[in-house]
């Protein structure tokens, strides 16, 4: 029997089947810039150089089966959301990793703005506050240009047989609020004005689902990225999770799946106690991608017959470990989480910018060694 194509492998894993070998799809955001030999600033703000660095990284390391998110990531695209960043060459060293500046740009009164005037009105207002340098007239064309570049990149790789999983990026409403308000303020809001937070989430939920649908439908990618960063047991109690996370998670995922899209659940931090709740999500249409904090073996036990699992080579192992240690970690994941299919080997969250290339190679090669 001939080998499966990369796309067939990824689709088989999502459908909880066993491909000819375990597929692999590291999450490449900033690593490609450094591996490609250009500065972080060029990688994020010069699309042509960024694209060249991505090519160099993919072919230099021997390739893989899919891109979890369209590549390269663009600094400008990050600034389309009302979240402040520090970028390499712009407040940080040229070779640094970009970082979110988490500060309470959203006020307490803004909960009422979301409830009364709508999320769109609030979003525009907050964006104008965080990025006064963009005029409203600039934003439309700029978003259009970024989107068409993303579509070109998705197509470029699809033509070479490498699918992109996420054609649009969304995040759970509570994680958006955490970034707008800051973790510290949002945590207090959950006690002092819980109903206002819940109301805002209710208003945001269908809008987030629509943005995912519009962004990914027809993009050539398999589906939508849905981020869950702090919406789990590392930060929230189960009671808070049930009230502020679960209803919006279920609504958004169902809406995306009904639109024919796969949902890439990019879930950082510790979701282990939250895993049983994910059984509610539609079977064979989600990928749960974790960062090494969630117990992925437990996830296999609880969710193995519901959703594809992805991950989770830890960042510290990729930067400070040895190729043998990485290989050993991957072998164990392939043997346990990969058993019977429904698994994609990947970096836990983003492949760190300072990963040792020999460690990345060891990860990629492990699927051939142990995944057939």
Partner 1 sequence: MAYQARREAALPETLSQLLYDLEEDKVLAEVKERLARNGDPIAIIEECRKGMEVVGKRFEDKEYFITELIMAGEIFGVVMEMVEPAMKGSRASTIGKIVLGTVQGDIHDIGKNIVRTMLKCSGFEVYDLGVDVAPQKFVEKIMEVGSPLVALSALMTTSFNTMKETVEAIAKAGLRDKVKIMVGGGPVNEKVRDYVGADAFGKDVTAAVELSKSFIEVK
Using CB under 8 A, list all residues that contact partner 1: 86, 92-93, 96-97, 99, 101-102, 183-184, 187-188, 190-192, 233-237, 240, 273, 314-321, 352-355
Query: What six digits make up the tokens of 103?
Result: 């500060």
DSSP conformational letter for 26: -
Contact between 170 and 211 under an 8 Å Cβ cutoff? The reply is yes
Nearer to partner 1 among residue 188 and residue 214 (C-beta): 188
**Whole-angstrom Cα distance, residue 154 to residue 98?**
23
Closest distance of CB 237 from partner 1, Å: 5
Angle in degrees, 0-180, between the axes of helices 136-159 and 119-130, rounded to the nearest 10: 100
Nearer to partner 1 among residue 102 and residue 112 (C-beta): 102
Nearer to partner 1 among residue 112 and residue 325 (C-beta): 325
**Whole-angstrom Cα distance, residue 9 to residue 17?**
9
Closest distance of CB 127 from partner 1, Å: 21
Nearer to partner 1 among residue 100 and residue 258 (C-beta): 100
Nearer to partner 1 among residue 127 and residue 230 (C-beta): 230
Query: What six digits make up the tokens of 252?
Result: 């958004």
Beta bridge mates, 224: 168, 263
Nearer to partner 1 among residue 190 and residue 221 (C-beta): 190
Closest distance of CB 361 from partner 1, Å: 18
Long-range own/partner contacts, residues 109-114 (CB < 8 A, 24 or more apart): 110/180, 111/189, 111/193, 111/196, 111/197, 111/199, 111/200, 112/196, 114/199, 114/200, 114/203, 114/204
Closest distance of CB 33 from partner 1, Å: 13
**Whole-angstrom Cα distance, residue 364 to residue 367?**
6
Nearer to partner 1 among residue 101 and residue 324 (C-beta): 101
Q: Where are the strands (E) in 74-205, listed by range?
A: 84-88, 91-92, 99-101, 164-171
Nearer to partner 1 among residue 248 and residue 355 (C-beta): 355
Helix (H) or strand (E) holding 346: strand 343-347
In the chain, the N- to C-terminal Cα span, in Å, equals 13
Nearer to partner 1 among residue 65 and residue 185 (C-beta): 185
Of 41, 34, 126, give the one whose Cα is nearest residue 80: 126
Residue-wise burial string across 281-305, b where 16 or more C-beta atoms lie within 10 A, e elsewhere:
beeebbbbbbbbbbbbeebbebbbe
Residue-wise burial string across 47-73, b where 16 or more C-beta atoms lie within 10 A, e elsewhere:
bebbbbbbbebbebbeebbbbbbbbbb
Q: How many CB atoms lie within 10 A of CB 345?
A: 29
Nearer to partner 1 among residue 51 and residue 272 (C-beta): 272
């Amino acid at each position: 029997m001939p080998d499966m194509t990369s796309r067939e492998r990824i689709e088989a894993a999502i459908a909880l089947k066993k491909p000819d070998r375990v597929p692999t799809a590291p999450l490449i955001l900033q690593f490609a810039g450094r591996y490609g030999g250009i500065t972080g600033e060029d990688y994020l703000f010069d699309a042509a150089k960024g694209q060249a660095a991505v090519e160099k990284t993919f072919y230099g390391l021997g390739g893989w089966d899919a891109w979890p998110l369209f590549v390269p990531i663009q600094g400008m695209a990050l600034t389309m959301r009302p979240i402040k960043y520090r970028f390499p060459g712009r407040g940080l060293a040229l070779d640094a990793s970009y970082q979110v500046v988490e500060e309470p740009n959203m006020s307490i009164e803004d909960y009422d703005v979301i409830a009364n005037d709508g999320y769109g009105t609030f979003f525009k207002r907050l964006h104008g506050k965080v990025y006064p340098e963009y005029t409203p007239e600039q934003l439309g064309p700029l978003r259009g240009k970024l989107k068409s570049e993303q579509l070109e990149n998705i197509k470029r790789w699809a033509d070479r047989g490498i699918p992109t999983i996420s054609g649009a990026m969304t995040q759970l409403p509570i994680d958006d609020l955490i970034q707008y308000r800051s973790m510290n303020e949002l945590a207090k809001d959950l006690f002092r004005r819980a109903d206002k937070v819940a109301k805002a989430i209710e208003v945001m939920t269908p809008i987030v689902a629509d943005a995912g649908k519009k962004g990914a439908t027809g993009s050539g990618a398999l589906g939508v990225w849905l981020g869950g960063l702090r919406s789990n047991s590392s930060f929230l109690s189960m009671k808070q999770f049930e009230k502020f996370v679960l209803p919006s998670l279920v609504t958004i995922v169902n809406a995306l799946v009904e639109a024919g899209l796969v949902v890439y659940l990019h879930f950082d931090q510790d979701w282990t106690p939250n895993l049983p709740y994910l059984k509610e999500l539609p079977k064979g249409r989600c990928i749960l991608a974790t960062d090494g904090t969630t117990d992925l073996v437990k996830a296999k036990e609880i969710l193995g017959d519901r959703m594809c699992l992805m991950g989770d080579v830890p960042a510290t192992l990729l930067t400070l470990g040895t190729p043998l240690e990485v290989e050993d970690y991957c072998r164990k994941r392939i043997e346990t989480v990969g058993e019977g299919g429904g698994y994609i080997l990947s970096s836990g969250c983003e492949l760190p910018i300072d990963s040792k290339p020999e460690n990345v190679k060891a990860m990629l090669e492990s699927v051939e060694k142990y995944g057939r």
